[in-house]
Homo-oligomer: A and B are copies of this chain.
Amino acid sequence: MSIQRLFIHVATAALISFGLSAQAFEALPATVPVPADNPMSKAKVELGKQLFFDPRLSVDGTISCNSCHNLMASGTDNRPVSVGVAGQKGGRSAPTVWNAAFLTAQFWDGRAATLEDQAKGPILNPVEMGMPSQQAAVERIKAIPGYAEQFKAVFGGGDPVSYDNIAKAIGAYERTLITRDSAFDRYMKGDKKAISTQAQRGMQLVEDTGCTGCHNGPNFAGPTSLPMGQGFYQKFPTFTDNEYVKKYQLEEDQGRYEATKDDADKHMWRVPTWRNVALTAPYFHNGSVATLDEAVRVMAKTQLNKELSDAQVADIVAFLNTLSGEFPPQSLPRLPATPNGSPVADK
């Protein structure tokens, strides 16, 4: 058994051990998984949308969730790494927020189990939104009367504006951010002309080459039915004896190990989605690879020890482009005002 077949075998075995099967090609499910403790409601989603677009959740009022997860671009900022408050750069490239609801673990290293857990991170990260504490974020939101009213209506209870509830509202909104109706989805539903013959060749190639050993399931990010918090991880790079590893500094960041400090997690990464991947350049956790063509070559070599021809790369890229979905229209939410003053200090 070759090393790359063993690798695929391990991934498959991992799925079987959960009693799951993952298909290489699936349309997106009709419904998103919703945690029992954060049921969806229209008012909660609307509140979460306001928070998502509100830079007042950052210490100096300059960065909103949408700053780095720019919804109507690609759900990312199309930068190698993001820029947070005071011009500070982050350590990893912003993943797309579109379809993140189907991931069973969040962040590149899967360190957050849910969208709610994820939302709590950037607000407090000193190089992202830079709020000094959960309490500071809560006080900021409490100082905005329109928010205080909405939190009361949505969450009730004696202390509705809490850090947990801020995260719940944002998570609920993010569960609406699904890009259905890609050319690929139409193809899977029977419209055989929805994707070109080149893209169809690419579709066959990603299976034959072994890419779908990991990039499978409806989100092309592994199974969507793992228990919430159980990420689907792979080692990246697996094959390190090639030009790409050094050129793109692929081993500098140790991935999940940075969060767990468990040696077994060194260079382990949550398998990222292929949905809208053509829109989210530059690529990889460090944003070091500028184009999708090159990202395909790098992955074939570092994960499957294969070298693809230019024609094969072009076919695969044509297929990946069919995974760009329709972005549901988003009305900009009116941000609740603080008449006569501003809650934002000049930090």
Contacts and interface: CB of A to CB of B under 8 A. Distances in A.
Interface stretch (A21-29, A149-157, A250-258, A322-330): A322-330
Interface string A318-347: 000100100101111111011111111010
A279 interface: yes
Contact of A61 (B77, B85, B86, B333): B77
Interface string A56-83: 1000111000010011111001111101
Contacts of A281: 338, 340-342
B341 A291 contact: yes
A314 B270 CA distance: 57
A334 B70 CA distance: 10
Interface in A109-124: none
A82 to B, nearest CB: 8
Contacts of A333: 72
A257 B226 CA distance: 66
A324 B339 contact: yes
Contacts of A232: none
A79 B53 contact: no
Contacts of A78: 56, 61, 338, 342-344
A335 B327 CA distance: 11
A contact patch SS: loop
A278 interface: yes
Contacts of A79: 60-62, 342, 344, 346
Nearest to A291: B341
B70 A335 contact: yes
A292 to B, nearest CB: 4
Nearest to A336: B73
Given A61-B77, A279-B337, 8 more contacts: A74-B337, A83-B87, A87-B87, A292-B340, A327-B334, A329-B331, A330-B331, A331-B331
21 contacts: A61-B78, A61-B79, A62-B67, A62-B77, A71-B332, A72-B333, A74-B337, A78-B343, A79-B342, A80-B346, A278-B337, A278-B339, A278-B340, A281-B340, A281-B341, A281-B342, A287-B346, A292-B341, A317-B340, A321-B340, A330-B331
